[in-house]
Amino acid sequence: MTAVSIHARGLTVLAPDGRTMVQPLDLDLVGGETVALIGESGSGKTLTAKSLIGLLPPGFRAQGEVRYGEQAFELSMPDAAWRPLRGRTVSLLLQDPFTSLSPVHRCGEQIAWTIEAATGRRLRGAARTSAIAARLAEVRLPERVARAYPHELSGGMRQRVAIAAALASDPVLLIADEPTTALDASNQAEILDLLHGIQTARGMAVLLISHDLGLVRGRTDRVLVMRSGEIVERGDTATVLAAPEHAYTRALIEVDPAMRALAADDGSTADGSADDGSTPALAAGTDRPTAVLEASGIVKRFGERTVLDDVSIALRPGEVTGVVGESGSGKSTLARCIAGLEREDGGEIRFEGVVLAPGRGSRTPAQMQIVFQDPYSSLNPMMSIGAILREALHVARRPAADVAVLLETVGLPADFAGKRPAQLSGGQRQRVAIARALAPRPSVLICDESVSALDVSVQAQVLALLAQLRDELGLAILFISHDLAVVREIADTVTVLWDGRVVEQGECARVLTAPEHEYTRLLIAAGRRENPRAAASDLASKGTR
């Protein structure tokens, strides 16, 4: 395929109320090139992407012009005029592989639709099977996936199917809108490397939309940084990341845990013993408080499958205990067993030395509280923040007047009591969820992926809040995350779970600088967004478990 160049001129997006969501911008891409558009949620990067394929949300309007090769198009043209362009010229890969495929159709069929739409011919029999198999092979999936339904595949595999479906029409430009945000760290790198490989082989242009600077590093040629609908910086990826000119870019780099981890690594000595100072030193032999909660030998099965196999963990006051692992490693199940939301099948959980029976009945609110991942669904949208907190205070037999105290504890102004969840940003909602969890003055706070749904800068603020609560209230925090970089930020000790087993456990600084188990090394590599494929095959070849 000859390289086609894509040029957008004066691309502007207007909201239904006439506000300018994306300021006029120019964008140039050449086949074989990847350009990253970086920005936080709400910066207008997704609107920019959708305007290039004519799929803006209802009411939004685009202005400007785009040239795909020789042909020029008005971005404001009606839907019917966009249709012939979609698929064959430009295709879009969405963020969430769990929703971007139809759940009731087989994967092969969904890929075939794209091929049929692009060629205008119905595919039948053997021709159909082999065409689908070829597309699956390109994303390194076996032929049998064609017969599978999306729910039978893992997130990473689903995103591969989505890529195969998006590319089956051989577009000259692929817009990938946060294609890995919903995936685990190791899957993220694999998917991006896969995209990169296909793009090079095809000579296709890729516009990668992301909020994550770490992901962009080493995988894109140029980068555009967007803030409030405006491009504040553009240039070669390496140059921009090494010497950012705009304060916003610098701030983005600073709050990115993966980027910070890199900086920390560069500063540490080769033997990995240096402490980067971000975690309190926990040198062996120093006095550590006795554990407030101890889980030992926890076993949990779902039917035939053993999800937790002999997992032990101790939570101490004033310490953050990190648990890392990919989805399916059992880390959330562990949190739920400790919180009594699941009943463990074996082992025991002791709170201040007393054994807690499995299930919720044996626990009191003042022992432990849990903060979930998604602050959008964990707060009742019909209740004001004040009502949500008063309800929690009532259960804890505390006066309703303490609402202001709770809000202050999590760094929110007292007038937030009158607001509703919909009026709050993601970070503010998560603060409310934390405030609610603090109402019964718990000894243990369980954070199950509590910062994973947040933008990096907001993530940093919530992490700082958790660290502050740990120090000021002496909370024992169980911090579950798939993101090693985030755990590194906050945890004092870390437990690495793999396939329901503890593969490594110890002081956070030690485990992350001098990991003993290969799987931990693999996770660390993935966390840095390096190529984990080598590490993975390495691990597989040694047959380590």
Binding residue count for other proteins, defined by CB under 8 A:
32
Query: Taking the complex as a whole, how short is the minimal distance between the CB of residue 76 and other proteins, in angstroms?
Result: 18
Is there binding between residue 78 and other proteins (CB under 8 A)?
Answer: no
Print the binding letters for residues 34-53 with other proteins: x by CB under 8 A, - otherwise: -------------------x
Is there binding between residue 87 and other proteins (CB under 8 A)?
Answer: yes
Phi-psi region of 309 (alpha: psi -120 to 50; beta: other; left: phi over 0): beta
Q: Residue 443's beta-bridge partner residues?
A: none
Is there binding between residue 173 and other proteins (CB under 8 A)?
Answer: no
Is there binding between residue 60 and other proteins (CB under 8 A)?
Answer: no
β-sheet with 305-315: strand ranges across? 305-315, 293-302, 346-351, 354-356
Residue among 506, 82, 104 at smallest CA distance from 272: 506
Q: Of these, 22, 27, 35, 92, which contacts other proteins (CB under 8 A)?
A: 92
Residue 229 phi, psi (nearest 5): 80, 10
Scanning residues 275 to 294, which ones bind other proteins (CB under 8 A)? none
Longest CA pairwise span in the chain (Å) = 75
Q: Of these, 7, 9, 88, 350, which contacts other proteins (CB under 8 A)?
A: 88
Residue among 444, 448, 405, 407 at smallest CA distance from 429: 407
Q: Interacting stretch for other proteins, rule CB under 8 A, among 81-89, 270-278, 306-314, 515-523?
A: 81-89
Which of 158/260 has CB closer to other proteins?
158
The amino acid that residue 420 corresponds to is: R
Q: Of these, 1, 10, 77, 99, which contacts other proteins (CB under 8 A)?
A: 99
Q: Interacting stretch for other proteins, rule CB under 8 A, among 83-91, 221-229, 349-357, 475-483?
A: 83-91
CB atoms within 10 A of CB 198: 18
Query: Taking the complex as a whole, how short is the minimal distance between the CB of residue 114 and other proteins, in angstroms?
Result: 4
Query: Taking the complex as a whole, how short is the minimal distance between the CB of residue 178 and other proteins, in angstroms?
Result: 12
Q: Of these, 28, 65, 96, 374, which contacts other proteins (CB under 8 A)?
A: 96
Query: Taking the complex as a whole, how short is the minimal distance between the CB of residue 500 and other proteins, in angstroms?
Result: 22
Is there binding between residue 86 and other proteins (CB under 8 A)?
Answer: yes
Which of 84/285 has CB closer to other proteins?
84
Is there binding between residue 55 and other proteins (CB under 8 A)?
Answer: yes
Is there binding between residue 26 and other proteins (CB under 8 A)?
Answer: no
How many Cα atoms sit within 13 Å of 146 on the Cβ side? 18
Which of 121/542 has CB closer to other proteins?
121
Is there binding between residue 101 and other proteins (CB under 8 A)?
Answer: yes
Is there binding between residue 118 and other proteins (CB under 8 A)?
Answer: yes
Alpha-carbon distance values, 276 to 359, 392, 494, 508 (Å): 40, 39, 16, 11
Report the distance separating Cα 436 and Cα 375, nearest Å: 12
Q: Of these, 66, 168, 252, 313, which contacts other proteins (CB under 8 A)?
A: 168
Which of 166/393 has CB closer to other proteins?
166
Which of 46/321 has CB closer to other proteins?
46
Which of 85/432 has CB closer to other proteins?
85
Q: Of these, 9, 76, 113, 457, which contacts other proteins (CB under 8 A)?
A: 113
The amino acid that residue 127 corresponds to is: A
Which residue in this structure is represented by tokens 């009943």?
Answer: 343
Is there binding between residue 376 and other proteins (CB under 8 A)?
Answer: no
Q: Of these, 34, 48, 114, 369, which contacts other proteins (CB under 8 A)?
A: 114
Sign of CA pseudo-dihedral 437, 440, 443, 444:
negative
Query: Taking the complex as a whole, how short is the minimal distance between the CB of residue 159 and other proteins, in angstroms?
Result: 12
Report the distance separating Cα 60 and Cα 56, nearest Å: 6
Which of 91/428 has CB closer to other proteins?
91
Alpha-carbon distance values, 485 to 258, 261, 290, 357, 451 (Å): 5, 7, 27, 34, 12
Task: Please give the sequence-ordered ranges of beta strands (E in DSSP) within 352-462, or none if there are none.
Answer: 354-356, 368-371, 444-448
Q: Of these, 74, 77, 83, 247, which contacts other proteins (CB under 8 A)?
A: 83
Query: Taking the complex as a whole, how short is the minimal distance between the CB of residue 304 and other proteins, in angstroms?
Result: 14
Report the distance separating Cα 118 and Cα 256, nearest Å: 40
Query: Taking the complex as a whole, how short is the minimal distance between the CB of residue 491 and other proteins, in angstroms?
Result: 34
Is there binding between residue 13 and other proteins (CB under 8 A)?
Answer: no
Residue among 403, 292, 404 at smallest CA distance from 354: 292
Residue among 526, 486, 482 at smallest CA distance from 182: 482
> What string of DSSP letters covers 133-183?
HHHHHHTT--GGGGG--GGGS-HHHHHHHHHHHHHTT--SEEEEESTTTTS
Which of 28/116 has CB closer to other proteins?
116
Q: Of these, 84, 125, 303, 381, which contacts other proteins (CB under 8 A)?
A: 84
Contact between 431 and 415 (Cβ < 8 Å): no
Which residue in this structure is represented by tokens 């062996």?
Answer: 284
Report the distance separating Cα 277 and Cα 529, nearest Å: 23
Q: Of these, 18, 59, 103, 303, which contacts other proteins (CB under 8 A)?
A: 103
Which of 101/496 has CB closer to other proteins?
101
Burial-class residue 254 by CB neighbours within 10 Å (0-12, 13-18, 19+).
middle
Which of 53/511 has CB closer to other proteins?
53
In 3-state terms, what secondary structure has residue 328? coil
Scanning residues 128 to 167, which ones bind other proteins (CB under 8 A)? 149, 151-152, 162, 165-166
b/e 71-89 (16+ beta carbons within 10 angstroms → b) = eebebeeeeeebeebbbbb
Which of 104/126 has CB closer to other proteins?
104
Structure tokens at 49: 């992407």
Is there binding between residue 102 and other proteins (CB under 8 A)?
Answer: yes
Using CB under 8 A, list all residues that contact other proteins.
53, 55, 83-88, 91-92, 94, 96, 99-105, 110, 113-114, 117-118, 149, 151-152, 162, 165-166, 168-169
